[in-house]
Structure formats: structure tokens, C-alpha cells
Structure 1
């Protein structure tokens, strides 16, 4: 099974922080997970609040668990709130129904992990994730 390497994870994180700086975002927290949902790398910016590691991880792990980016999970939550709410207790790292959790694929289209970012608006979190993924030479699931 192909997975995001530590070097790629660090590139994702550095580029996502750079995008956050470029857009003048609030302090971000960034988690990069392997396809099995295990943490490869995590960093948080100075000033990030205390629950951000769990939120970032929950965005990425929820995307992997359901096979869709966390933005789509948010849409699902609007349509079927009871169903999505019932998933949290059975998901080890949680499921966060807000944009910012993006499944990552390699050039061949295989899932190699996921990125979860939190700290600013969900749209901005996702923009930073997409920038990080592209910088690592990987592909975001559409």
C-alpha cells in the first residue's frame, strides 16, 4: 500500500502554513494521516487553540472513513444530521463535518492518505490543504 511519506507530509504542512501566511489566516493546525488513519505528521501554529489537534485529525480521519472529503460530509450532515451525528462515537478519531479534510491520491489515483486543517474558516482551511497537497506533488480527491 502506498502512503504519504514523512517528507511529503512535511512538505504539505510547510506549504499549507505558507498559504495561511499568504492569506493572512488565523493560526492553523495541520494533521497528515496514512490511508489507515494513523498520524504521519502534525504541527500547529503558535497561538492555535487547544482542541485543534483533535479537529484537524477528525477532519482527515472522517474523510478516510467515509471515502469523501469533509466538505461532502458537511453536505451529508445537512441532509442527514442524525446519521452523521451517530458516526462520531464509532469513529476512533471522530468525524468533523466541515471543509478542511481532504483525501490525498498519488498520480495513479491511489489513496495515499488525508490532510486535515483547522484554525480559520472551513473554506480557508481547505484552501491551505489543497495548496499543501499540490506542493507535495500529490492530488486532492475531487
Structure 2
């Protein structure tokens, strides 16, 4: 049995830090129009972890909107500098999407799927080796909690 990993991360100004104990359930890039706005033109790159595996120190701000999927999507960011840190969906409140760019250390987390590709700009070239979904895919499978 392999030992689970831990990750640390935080915002650009250092006011918010976090630690994650565990392995991600999935790593995806999202091309929905909302994520393109949050990322200023590209996709968001997210690793999905159980929310209770994430410990946060510092003040987070948040916002939410109704997504095309019908779910309420929330995004969490540093209240001081605005760095994007996490996303969450009302459909899966037990999970968090951790923005890969907010991780401290180099990591091997690489998206294996692109979602909402029907909303990607025409100039985008998505790696054909990645699984692709035109819209919202099924949730990542739950991890065994041993």
C-alpha cells in the first residue's frame, strides 16, 4: 500500500496558506466560460481533493454563481491579494478543486481530462491524449478512506 502525499500552497502575498493531506481524486482543466474569466483567458487547472483533507490558515473571501450545469459554484480566494485558491460545487460539497498554480512545490499533478471543451476558444489546442468532455462530466470516483 502506498503512502498518501501531502501538499502545501497559498496565495501570492502569503496571507493565506494551506496544507492538504491525501491524494487527489482527479486532475482536470475546465474550459467553461466562467473559468476562462477567473483565469483571465485560459482554463482553470484543478486537482480535486476531499474538503476535510485541506487545512487553511488565513482569511478567504468567496463568491458564487449558478453554473450552466444547474449547480451553484463557489470560488475562494485570498481576501488580501485575490489569488484564486479553491473551487467548490453544490453538487459535491465534500470536494474542493484546488487551483494547481497555488501549490508551493513542484508536483507531478497533471490534468488527465479537459471539461467544458465546447466552450473553449477556437484557437485552443487541447492535448488529444487527454480525456475530453463537451460539458460537465461525472464526478471523480470517491477514494477509499482506509
TM-score normalised by L of structure 1: 0.31
The structure that has the greater radius of gyration is 2
Q: Which has the higher contact order (CA 8 A, sep 6+)?
A: 1
Structure whose residues are more often helix by fraction:
1
Structure whose residues are more often strand by fraction:
2
TM-score normalised by L of structure 2: 0.31
